Amino acid sequence: MKTENIVSKEIANELITQYRDKYIKSSYKPWCSSINCKNLPWCYYEELGIKIFGLDDLPKINIPLEKAVYCHDEVDDIMYQMTFGEVLKMITNLEPWEGVDIEIFDESLDWTIAITHEEEVITYGVEIIPE
């Protein structure tokens, strides 16, 4: 991803705090000391009516390609601001051995999409456009 799209750490921390307050159970801890690794937040989503799709369904989500979104990379703990179309391009250009663990949302926090290294797309507040 382009470095000019990186959101400042201060703003990113504020956005992630708001995101986790809205979507993630309070029992979530970023680090699991018993197995010495990161916990991924979407494993702790509140029961909000989330839906799970395959990665192939990502382009069918009803978000305009030009929509400005935040994309938080859980592995590198970096947040980017980009368009939804740029996110789709990044995901489709991944090599087969590359994986992602990201959350996508906009400033409203009315919806979210998590894309996991298991090639699942977990959504809340967005729909798949019927074919």
- Residue 72: phi and psi, rounded to 5, are -100, 120
- Tell me if 29 sits within 8 A of 8, measured CB to CB: no
Share of the chain above pLDDT 70, in %: 93
Q: Is the pLDDT of residue 35 over 70?
A: no
User: Has residue 1 got a pLDDT over 60?
Assistant: no
For residue range 64-95, what is the model confidence (pLDDT) as tens digits? 999 999 999 988 899 999 999 999 999 988 88
The rounded distance, in Å, linking the Cα atoms of 2 and 50 is: 30
Question: Which neighbouring-strand residues pair with 104?
Answer: 71, 113
pLDDT band at 97 (very low <50, low <70, confident <90, very high): confident
How many whole angstroms separate alpha carbon 20 and alpha carbon 39? 13
Neighbours of 129 (CB within 10 A): 11
Q: Is the pLDDT of residue 36 over 70?
A: no
